[in-house]
Amino acid sequence: MKRDVIIACDFPGKEATLAFLDLFPSGEKPFVKIGMELFYACGPEIVREIKARGHRIFLDLKLHDIPNTVRKAMTVLSALDVDMVNVHAAGTKAMMQAALEGLIRPDGSRPLLIAVTQLTSTSEAVMQDELLIGAGIGETIVRYARNAREAGLDGVVCSPLEAGIVKEACGKEFLTVTPGIRFSDSSADDQVRITTPARAREIGSDFIVVGRPVTAAPDPLAAYKRCIEEFV
């Protein structure tokens, strides 16, 4: 899989999102991530509109429900012609397999399916004391990644710092999609475990997900191009 940069379009609505995408020249169509906020605010129409403009889309809705519900929901999302979707690995292998089945389109194609292992906002202490998961966080991430691979998924979302251990456990073809990216000279914002696009490439990320370093930059197009230069 060719490495690529995915821009997290964390905008509150359609107007702000399309104004941002208008900053890119017609020949430049970045891969974009649409999350819950935008999807719940604007519905499937925003996906159709961005797709019609020629962008590839990672629809980041992190599904987690009983297998039958996830299978049927995935059929609906797949029909939107998105390129990547995700589920929580905590939903079990049965749920992940059902998600995969639901994604297959009538022509046999499907979007990439990625699992969230443990959210980077969950600390090891919370995982152990509140969720009663006794294993360490590294061990949990690797086990959840293996479960995802065994269920037939294409990869996981993880910290770029974990991309190496995931590749080691699941093979180099198993994709790592990594947020938590900052330029060496930019603010960390609320992210804790961060790295640069160049370092993410060295560790083995396949896709970096970059939000504010591009969306809040004085010149977003230049910031996007810098990500491409460092990472791809």
Residue nearer to ligand C5P on the CB measure, 27 or 40? 40
Q: Return the residue nearest ligand C5P (CB atom).
A: 211
Q: Hey, what are 180's tokens?
A: 């938590």
Sequence-ordered alpha helix ranges (H) in 122-216: 124-129, 137-150, 163-170, 197-203, 212-215
C-alpha 202/C-alpha 74 separation (Å) is: 33
Token pair, residue 10, equals 């964390």
Cβ atoms < 10 Å from Cβ of 54: 11
Indicate the residue among 35 and 102 with the shorter CB distance to ligand C5P: 35
Between 119 and 135, CB nearer to ligand C5P:
119
Residues that bind ligand C5P (CB under 6 A): 8, 10, 35, 119-120, 157, 179-180, 189, 191, 209-213
Q: How far is the CB of 122 from ligand C5P (least distance, A)?
A: 9
Nearer to ligand C5P, 74 or 115 (CB): 115
Are 205 and 196 in contact by the 8 Å Cβ rule? The answer is: no
Distance of closest approach, residue 26 Cβ to ligand C5P, in angstroms: 25
Active site residue 51: no
Minimum Å gap between C-beta 70 and ligand C5P is 19
CB neighbourhood size of 168 (10 A): 11
CB of 136 to ligand C5P, least distance (A): 18
Q: Write down the catalytic residue from 62, 72, 93, 172.
A: 62
Mark residue 65 as left, alpha or beta (left: phi above 0; alpha: psi -120 to 50; beta: remaining): beta
Q: What residues act catalytically?
A: 62
